[in-house]
Amino acid sequence: MSRTRTVATWTTAVLAAAALAGCAESDRDEGSGGSGGSGSGSDATFVFGAAGAPEMFDPFYATDGETFRVTRQMFEGLLGIEPGSAEVVPELATEWTPNEDGTEWTFTLRDDVTFHDGEPFNAEAVCYNFERMFDQNDAGQVAGEYWGYVMGAFANDADNSLYQGCEATGEFEAVVTISGPTSGFPTMLTLESLSMQSPKALEEGDANGIAAEGEGFSFPEYADNPVGTGPFTFGEYDEANGTISLERNDDYWGEAAKVSELVFRVIPDESTRRQELEAGSINGYDLPNPVDWNALEESGNTVEIRDAFNILYMGFNPDTNPQLQDLKVRQALNLAINREQLVQTQLPEGAEVATQFMPKTVSGYNTELAAPEYDPERAQELLAEAGAEGMTLTFAYPTEVSRPYMPDPQKLYEALRTDLEAVGVKVDVKTASWNGGYLDNVTAGKYDAYILGWTGDYDSPFNFIGTFFGNLKENDFGTSAMPWGKQLADDLKAADAIVDEAERSAAFEEINAQIMEDYLPGLPISHSPPALVVGPGVEGVIPSPLTAEEFDSVTVSGE
Amino acid sequence: MLRFVLRRLLQMLGVVLALSLLVFFWLRSLPGGPVSALLGERATPERRARMEEALGLDEPLPVQYLRYMQRALRGDFGVSTKVLPGEDALDIFFARLPATIELAFFALAIAILLGIPLGYLAARRRGTALDNTAVIFSLVGVAVPVFFTGFLLKYFFAVEWDLLPVSGRQSTGLDATRVTGLFVLDGIMTREWDAAWDALKHLVLPAVALATIPFAVIFRITRASVLDVLDEDYVRTAEAKGLTARVIRGRHVLRNAMLPVVTTVGLQVGALLGGAILTETVFSIRGIGDALATAFRDKDYPVLQVLIIAAAAIYVLVNLMVDIAYALIDPRIRTR
């Protein structure tokens, strides 16, 4: 008997010791940034739970949201985005004016800005940045994805580049020349990747010294020591602990940040982020599961719902399934989908039915377009007319992914599949993981139909429908197989080149109507508002439709 | 003994080489690849092709493999594409190793320190309430997945009762000196007691969560093994000879019952590496498991190759150590 007691006592003692240890010294009193425990006002720390680690700190080569979330706090562009909207506002440039044909843009710069390393910000620095981005080696051209995406080419292929040159016409005046007018310029200068960086630091850190090595790219030293002009400066990346800390920039040209330190903690698991928030060890995190929104609010947190700046669509590929080349078939599928019910049951509060391939906050949105009707009977009639009753559709969805426009792809898919089967379409279910073949198969045209979506980079209609249908040879909708495919691509390019904004908007509205009424290359489904959540005592987070929150306005106070 | 060890080391080298070949081709036979992870929704065929060309993924597989091996022989295992782009894959392995070692060490310590005594006791008190409770507990331990155990532990100990941190390895804002990357040890070495204490507290929940399965296995093997030994003639002889209970327990029962337990402990190291993937994800610990999970999701080939091969090498090495320990405990093995 005595022996049993010994072990039992010993076990209990260990557990009790562990418990006592916790009791004796609660974690919340350890300045771990918990519940603003680190003070309030100017000495506070704001700790944000990030879903993934940043990939690097040079925004030019970055492509993912977790990296931009961090770099956004340190870097600024010539143009900024009005917090809480997608509207373009002055940032490092106070004014920008085009010449008559929209090919030369004169930027008037702020004259009171210095980089974090004390270097002055001026027109020369602006042109240095443009030339640095433009003049990339082979590896840099592949890695500098955003420049490639918006400008089309680099210095070695200058004829095909939108960017043509930059000239410092005064200390605080720079002229940027582009090859032709486009709706995307200068709005694209709000992109994180095109931020202004310190020429001296770029030079010293050999910023363009990127090289292909084996199956990856090796990045120069600069990518770990970034220098911008923003309200926060780079502190350190503690990789072993998964924390990135930024310090307040006391020499910031604008209003200084309200917190002295900004910490990003990498917490990959969504339920763990929630528990960290509940325990008070972080002050906020992104993309809380819509299922948790109410519970989070009830326990004293604030769920900030952003405006939706995205689109979920069902794409078709008429190349792989010729039946889809018949407009009647596509219209039938359009009528078969009960979007209203899908939005009500499968998507977070505030989600909306899509009437076209872009959200309503984008210029060029056509307000005349009504939500597509739900009429399964008419759908069946149309299928019969087209001789496609009981057609088989190879229809795919991705696994192992959650995107702002589709929090739970499988559930969305099931709802769509049910609707399609209700009108007699036989669905051949296909699935693959996001990076494990799904995206490859979509681009390679292996599915008749698939679900996918897009989150806008900046306020430009071309960033949505231009991306989808503007490149005739390379788009996921296989429009090159359709008689109207070329017309649509040409119309998009023509509309994009209209200099006058009102006229340009009208042209895009017209195209949006045409896409929905005459072409129907796919089915726009919905727009979902992504949310972020902050704990008690956190004020001043302004939710951004572009998920581009700037944390300099945030205050943290003890409860 | 030396020859035995050398022979085993050579075998190990063969295993690692064969594995490198297997892993290389297996990864590339899976659908998808790093390009999707790098381009996301922006992947057009043209961009995809440029990226593949830049990364040398457009070459025939045997050519890719030969290039990889050429570089690997020089100690260059390529750079990460996604886990930490541009970072040497081998450096990532070494940077992530301490967190996993620390976690696995504490988990194994918990499993051994609870499993062996409880197993022995349960065997001695077969059929009592203590025995039955421990057996049921061990069954549950094996059946419940780590992420569920982890979630419950976090919910009660961290969120509800505020006794321990939820996740991570050290509190933010703690300015700790790093020496070995083993945070607890670093704190002790540099006499930063608060840092060591803080790191230790962060380890409690994940180590307990990770320990549940090895604990259950060690407990059951110990119990079964002790039961076997207790029925042996020599134990009865020893009792008949009037030897003290202490001598019987130590020299006769425990020593003989420990052989299968040592093997089991060795085998648990492999299970620990597997369990670490989930545990590290659930507790935001940036170790090998977390890197593996990220690398697999984003198809970061260089990192996956290094991690899988290194993990296998560790596994083989541990097995070798088990065999040596075995030989030390049981002289019959050495002479074979």
CATH code for position B321 = 1.10.3720.10
Choosing from A200, A227, A254, the residue where a domain stops is A227
> What are A258's two structure tokens?
């309200």
> What are A16's two structure tokens?
């009790």
Measured from the Cβ of residue B216, the count of other Cβ atoms closer than 10 Å reads 22
Same domain, A544 and A517: no
Q: Which residues of chain B have a CB within 8 Å of the CB of A63?
A: 38-40, 42
Q: Please give the Cα distance from A62 to A224 (Å, whole number).
A: 12
The predicted-structure confidence for A489-531, as pLDDT tens digits, reads as follows 999 999 999 988 899 999 999 999 999 999 999 999 999 999 9
Q: Please give the Cα distance from B280 to A233 (Å, whole number).
A: 30
- Is residue A71 in a domain? yes
- Is residue A233 in a domain? no
Q: Which residues of chain B have a CB within 8 Å of the CB of A272?
A: 154, 166-167, 282-284
Question: What phi and psi, each to the nearest 5 degrees, are found at residue B214?
Answer: -60, -35
Q: Please give the Cα distance from A289 to B148 (Å, whole number).
A: 18
- Is residue B76 in a domain? no
- B157 in contact with A, Cβ within 8 Å: yes
- Is residue A281 in a domain? yes
Same domain, A510 and A416: yes
Q: What is the CATH number of the domain that holds A100?
A: 3.90.76.10
Same domain, A288 and A142: no
- Is residue A481 in a domain? yes
Same domain, A358 and A464: yes
Structural domains counted in chain A: 3
Same domain, A188 and A107: yes
Asked if B124 lies within 8 A of A31 by C-beta distance, the reply is: no
- Is residue A336 in a domain? yes
Chain A and chain B share a number of CB contacts under 8 A equal to 242
The helix (H) or strand (E) run that includes residue A248 is: strand A243-248
- CA neighbours closer than 13 Å in the CB half-sphere of residue A95: 6
* Cα distance from N-terminal residue to C-terminal residue, chain B: 11
Same domain, A322 and A271: no
> What are B36's two structure tokens?
């999707």
Q: Which domain holds residue A284?
A: 35-53+239-306+534-559
Per-residue model confidence as pLDDT tens for chain A (559 residues) = 443 333 344 444 443 443 433 333 333 333 333 333 343 446 899 999 999 999 999 999 998 899 999 999 999 999 999 999 999 999 999 999 999 999 999 999 999 999 999 999 999 999 999 999 999 999 999 999 999 999 999 999 999 999 999 999 999 999 999 999 998 899 999 999 999 999 999 999 999 999 988 888 999 999 998 999 999 999 999 999 999 999 999 999 999 999 999 999 999 999 999 999 999 999 999 989 888 999 999 999 999 999 999 999 999 999 999 999 999 999 999 999 999 999 999 999 899 999 999 999 899 999 999 999 999 999 999 999 999 999 999 999 999 888 889 989 999 999 999 999 999 999 999 999 998 889 989 988 999 999 999 999 999 999 999 999 999 988 899 999 999 999 999 999 999 999 888 999 999 999 999 999 999 999 999 999 999 999 999 999 999 999 999 999 999 987 5
Measured from the Cβ of residue A507, the count of other Cβ atoms closer than 10 Å reads 21
Measured from the Cβ of residue A262, the count of other Cβ atoms closer than 10 Å reads 26
Choosing from A192, A227, A262, the residue where a domain stops is A227
- Is residue A1 in a domain? no
Note the pLDDT of residue A23: 39
- B173 in contact with A, Cβ within 8 Å: yes
Same domain, A318 and A453: yes
Same domain, A42 and A123: no
Strands (E) in A267-391, as ranges, are 284-286, 302-305, 310-316, 352-353
Sign of the C-alpha dihedral computed for residues B6, B11, B12 and B14 taken in this order: positive
Note the pLDDT of residue B334: 59
Q: Are B114 and B243 in contact (CB under 8 A)?
A: no
Asked if A239 lies within 8 A of B286 by C-beta distance, the reply is: yes
Q: Look-up: residue for tokens 């982890």?
A: B150
Query: A467 vs chain B: nearest CA distance in angstroms?
Result: 9
Same domain, A353 and A321: yes
- Is residue A2 in a domain? no
Same domain, A317 and A271: no
- Is residue B6 in a domain? no
Q: Which domain holds residue B277?
A: 93-335
Note the pLDDT of residue A344: 94
- Is residue B71 in a domain? no
Asked if A33 lies within 8 A of B173 by C-beta distance, the reply is: yes
The helix (H) or strand (E) run that includes residue A50 is: strand A45-50
Q: Please name which of A427, A46, A99 lies closest in space to residue A261, comparing C-alpha atoms.
A: A46
Q: Which residue of A has its CA nearest to B46?
A: A474
Q: Mean pLDDT in runs of 10 for chain B (336 residues)? A: 82 86 92 85 84 89 91 90 92 94 94 92 89 89 86 94 94 88 94 95 95 91 90 80 76 80 80 85 94 92 92 82 77 61
- Is residue B55 in a domain? no
Contacts of A157 (CB under 8 A, 6+ apart): none
Same domain, A40 and A24: no
Q: Which residues of chain A have a CB within 8 Å of the CB of B158?
A: 275, 279
Strands (E) in A350-403, as ranges, are 352-353, 392-399
SS3 A537: coil
B82, B117, B170 ranked by CB distance to A241: nearest: B170
- Is residue A276 in a domain? yes
The predicted-structure confidence for B178-201, as pLDDT tens digits, reads as follows 999 999 999 999 999 999 999 999
- Is residue B273 in a domain? yes
Q: Which residues of chain B have a CB within 8 Å of the CB of A64?
A: 40
Q: Which residues of chain A have a CB within 8 Å of the CB of B77?
A: 214
> What are A539's two structure tokens?
């004020």
Q: A 317-336 residues with CB below 8 A of B?
A: none
Measured from the Cβ of residue B13, the count of other Cβ atoms closer than 10 Å reads 11
Q: Look-up: residue for tokens 């085009």?
A: A98
Q: Please give the Cα distance from A192 to A190 (Å, whole number).
A: 6
Same domain, A494 and A356: yes
- Is residue B329 in a domain? yes
Q: Are B166 and A272 in contact (CB under 8 A)?
A: yes
Give A236's strand partners: A245
- Is residue B13 in a domain? no
Structural domains counted in chain B: 1
Q: Are A392 and A430 in contact (CB under 8 A)?
A: no
The helix (H) or strand (E) run that includes residue A131 is: helix A123-134
DSSP structure class, residue A434: I
Q: Please name which of B11, B15, B28 lies closest in space to residue B304, comparing C-alpha atoms.
A: B28
- A452 in contact with B, Cβ within 8 Å: yes
**SS3 per-residue string spanning chain B:** CHHHHHHHHHHHHHHHHHHHHHHHHHHHHCCCCHHHHHHHHHCCHHHHHHHHHHCCCCCCHHHHHHHHHHHHHCCCCCECCCCCCCCEHHHHHHHHHHHHHHHHHHHHHHHHHHHHHHHHHHHHCCCCHHHHHHHHHHHHHHHCCHHHHHHHHHHHHHHHCCCCCCCCCCCCCCCCCCCCCCHHHHHHHCCCHHHHHHHHHHHHHHHHHHHHHHHHHHHHHHHHHHHHHHCCHHHHHHHHCCCCHHHHHHHHHHHHHHHHHHHHHHHHHHHHHHHHHHHHHHCCCCCHHHHHHHHHHCCCHHHHHHHHHHHHHHHHHHHHHHHHHHHHHCHHHHCC
Q: Are B274 and B311 in contact (CB under 8 A)?
A: no
Q: Are B184 and B192 in contact (CB under 8 A)?
A: no
Q: What is the CATH number of the domain that holds A555?
A: 3.40.190.10
Q: Which residues of chain A have a CB within 8 Å of the CB of B156?
A: none
- Is residue B269 in a domain? yes
- CA neighbours closer than 13 Å in the CB half-sphere of residue A83: 12
Strands A310-316 and A302-305: unpaired
Query: Does the bond joining A545 to the residue before it have cis omega, within 30 degrees of 0?
Result: no
Q: Are A434 and B36 in contact (CB under 8 A)?
A: yes
Choosing from A227, A259, A291, the residue where a domain stops is A227
